[in-house]
Amino acid sequence: MFGSVQIGLALFARHVAVSAAQEGARKARETAVSTKTDWQTAATTTATGWVTQLLGSMVNGTPTAQALEPVPLGNAYPEVGVSVQFDVVSVVPFWTFSVGSSSVGPVECFYQTNGHCNGY
């Protein structure tokens, strides 16, 4: 019975990890176009906040998030993202579950006809 509960908790945590990474990547995509904003901090704070909000005390320790640096694709359409990692509490003794996910997407901005992002 404890195994069933643990598997359900791990699957829910996996869903939260995917959602948190997507939310962090969404924030990164919005703010990375401006060189005046610290998009890495905004994105990682959003992702870890999402995990804390949805799982609360079911997280062992503190969730960590890492901003994925812009990746230019042929000098055009840079992509940014977030990777999230955390451990879930265990109801079964000696079991540990580490959950993580990443999400990446193009920087949201207006593109010139040559494919380069304005402001990037």
- Give the per-residue pLDDT at 3: 79
3's tokens: 């195994």
Instruction: List, edge to edge, every strand of the sheet that includes 76-88.
Output: 59-73, 76-88, 97-106
- Give the per-residue pLDDT at 101: 96
- Give the per-residue pLDDT at 103: 95
- State yes or no: pLDDT of 43 exceeds 60: yes
User: Cα-flanking dihedrals φ and ψ of residue 109, to 5°?
Assistant: -165, 175
- Give the per-residue pLDDT at 49: 95
Q: Under a CB-based contact definition with an 8 Å cutoff, are residues 82 and 102 in contact?
A: yes
pLDDT digits (tens, 9 = 90+) for 53-104: 999 888 989 999 999 877 666 556 678 899 999 999 988 888 888 999 999 9
Distance of alpha carbon 71 from alpha carbon 73, whole angstroms: 6
- State yes or no: pLDDT of 37 exceeds 90: no
User: Cα-flanking dihedrals φ and ψ of residue 110, to 5°?
Assistant: -85, 135
Contacts of 111 (CB under 8 A, 6+ apart): 76, 77, 117, 118
- Give the per-residue pLDDT at 71: 67
Q: Under a CB-based contact definition with an 8 Å cutoff, are residues 63 and 56 in contact?
A: no
State pTM to two decimals: 0.83
Contacts of 110 (CB under 8 A, 6+ apart): 117, 118
- Give the per-residue pLDDT at 115: 64
- State yes or no: pLDDT of 33 exceeds 70: yes
